[in-house]
Structures are given as C-alpha cells and as structure tokens.
Amino acid sequence: MACTGKIIFIWGSFLLISLLNVNRARNLLVALVCKPSSNNPIASGFIQTRDTHFVLNGSPFLFNGFNSYWMMQVAVEPSERYKISNVFREASAVGLNVCRTWAFSDGGYQPLQISPGVYDELVFQALDFVVSEARKYGVRLVLTLTNNLQDYGGRPQYVQWARSAGEPVNSDDDFYTNAVMKGYYKNYVKKVLTRLNTITGIAYKDDPTIMAWELINEPRCQVDSGKTINVWVQEMGSYVKSIDNKHLLGIGMEGFYGDSIQDRKQYNPIPGYQVGTDFISNNLIKEIDFATIHAYPDAWLPGQDDRLQIAFIQRWLTSHWTDSRTILKKPLIFAEFGKSKTCPGFNISAMDYFLNIVYTNIYNLAKNGGTMGGGLVWQIFTEGMESYYDGYEIVLSQNPSTTSIIAQQSNKMTKLQHSLNNPHGDIFEQAKDEAPDEPSLSI
C-alpha cells in the first residue's frame, strides 16, 4: 500500500485505537451471539427532509446503515427467516439503523412478479416479514423497486416481457420510453406501495418503517447523457407520489455526472466517462427528495493503488456533497460502498482502513452543516450464507475489527445527531463549530 506520511500517521493512530478497544470488540461479538430477543421498535413518524437535511419529527436524522439486497428471497423459505432476524438483530446491536434491500424479483427464480400483473403471494409474504422484522428491531428500510441489471429480473426482464407481447423493442433502453413497459412498471409500483402487510396489518405506503423508495437500482442508458432517464424519472416520480406522498423518493443512482455541468465530468472515475445519467439534472426533479451515490474504487479504478483509490473516494464524496448542498439543495446518501475480497493483495486490515477513511469522510461532511445523511455499506450477512457471498460480504459476528469500526461510526453519527438538536439556535450551527471526536466504540 502506497501511503504518504500523513496517511501513515492516521493509520497508526487508528491501529492504536483498535488495540485499546480489543476487549470491547470481543464483548461486542459476545453480545451479537448471546443478545436476547429484545428490540427497539421503530419510533413513530416518517423520515422527511427539510432543506438539505433528513429529519424525524422535526429533529435531525442521521444514520449508519447497510445493504442486504437478498432478504426477500431468503425469507421465501420460512425455515430460513431466522437469517433475516439475525441480521437485523446483529445490525441493531452495533447501531446500524437503515437497511437498503430489494423489493422486487421480476421473473426467473422465486419471482415476486411472475409476469406483468401476476404476483406470487408467498413471495409477497416474505417481503411482509422483512418489513415487520425491520420494524421490530428499529431499522428503517430503503426499498428499491427494480434493477438496471438482469439480477432478479430488472430492466432486461421487462424488455423480454414486452417482446413476448409483440412490442417492437430495439434494446433494453426502450424500458424508459416504451408505453407498454412503463405500464408494466407502474402497475408493479402500485401493487407494492398499496400492499397490506399480512403480519403488521399496515399498508406499505402508510408504514414509517420504510424510510424511502428507490425507482431503480443503478440506472444506465446508452441513448444520451441523462435526458431519457430524466423524462422517465419525472413520470415515475410523479406516479409514485400520486400514490404515496408520505415516504421519501430517490432514484437509485451511482452518481455519474453528465452534460448539464460540463466540468463536473472530471470527477467521474474516468474523466468524461458517462453512463447515460446526470447526477445534477436527474436529481433536480422536484419529486426526488434526496440524492445517492455509489462507489467501488477497486472495481472502477483497477490497477490503481490504494492511495489513488482513496483520493478518488474523497473527491467523489466532496464534489457530490457540494453539489447536493449548493445546487440540488437536497440531502445526500452514500448508498453503496465496499472493498472486495477478490482483489489482489486483499486483507482485512486493508478493508478496515478503507472503511475507516470512508466513515471519517461521511462523518466530517455530516458535521459540516448537514446534507450528508449517512452511509450504507455493501453488504451485511449473517453466518451460514456463503452461497450469497459476492466478495464484499461482512459477517458482524466473525469480523471483530470491522465490526468495531462500524460500531464506532454508528456511535459517532448518533452523538452528532444528538448534538444537532440545539435549542439555542439553528440545529446545525453547533456541528459547524465542534471538532470531530476521536473514534470510540459504543456497545
């Protein structure tokens, strides 16, 4: 790992803190294994936005969270549902309070949507279970409604359905413009949003357990640099809000810049590289309540050393935070990030270093007047799920050093949230004046 003197100093300090907390980390693992089934149910009230901040019942809402895309699929088999409960219990124990997961499975194996307008009730009941368990353990959900990729069906499945119905389809990009496919998608959205949970008795659109909907995971389009997706987001965003105006709505974007502000494209992983989205223009749509970014520097910048990858992460975060704050005037979520175990030379220390740098940046940006609501690491599993591993897996009960870092970040974000409830002035003014705390483990 190529490091400057400053990075070496920071890393050395981090190691010292980790050593001092080793006994507490061990205690954390015991808590994860032995903690009784007590829980912290969701507080009343929906997460909302005010200016560039997330708020709950009028007070600042900050979070540390995670991705576990697989939950609904695993919950289809009742004998496997304990794995969902375990993840929520273990995540809650280290202060993780937001989970992003899929609320779709289009065609293929164990589909929720078997074909357009045809649904599997057993799979819907699996999603009911995921929502009810999140509620039980005090974890808010970000539910994504389809995928750009073919995993779990997504955009390619909609295209296949349209072709089978005799629609003249040229490419997957027709998903955004073809009236039949847009109709399929709207019907699905309505079905999910109006679903009455068979366990809680609460309609999804009325359940504060759900923090937000996302229209599509990582949309991309080869037609242009964001105009096609812009029109689609406008239409679908308006449709979602016509059914559910209580929940927040995001797009689900990675954060690539387009043509709306030319000089921003220098911040893309490869300067000028575009994927058919425009972070600025797409997120300016009024129905979109917050912006998201993803980042996988080991995949996006192969061959570059850790120093350059960390530098990219810092530029990526700072540029999007600045634009969210000054142009979009909406909150920002770092909705996916991780370091793959499949990369050459990987070791746990390198992943821990990466997470610590990302978390430090998230915390400092949140502290500097808000806008950065929190981060969602990719991704959390429980024991016995090796068949789902993708290289980015984190099992909290098996990775004490990583679990310690995650718990420290949760503790810092919680403390910052409390400090922002300043009765003597603007709720974010106090955060601007305070220096960051040293990392500490809260158990």
Q: Could you list the active site residues?
A: 218, 336
State the Cα–Cα distance between residues 15 and 196, nearest whole angstrom.
Answer: 49
User: CB 439: neighbour CB atoms within 10 A?
Assistant: 21
State the Cα–Cα distance between residues 234 and 227, nearest whole angstrom.
Answer: 11
The pairing of beta strand 372-378 with beta strand 380-381: unpaired
Please state, in angstroms and as integers, the Cα–Cα distance from residue 16 to each residue in 20, 48, 384, 398, following that order: 6, 39, 32, 21
The residue whose two tokens read 């310690």 is 404
DSSP for residue 363: H
SS3 141: strand
The pairing of beta strand 98-102 with beta strand 394-395: unpaired
The dihedral over CA atoms of 142, 143, 149, 150, expressed in degrees to the nearest 10, equals 150
The dihedral over CA atoms of 155, 210, 68, 123, expressed in degrees to the nearest 10, equals -60
How far does Cα 178 stand from its chain's mean position?
A: 28
Residue length, the chain?
Answer: 443
Q: Which two tokens stand for residue 26?
A: 């061990």
339 contact partners, CB below 8 Å, separation of at least 6: 298, 346, 350, 351, 354, 355, 392
Q: Which two tokens stand for residue 234?
A: 């406008």
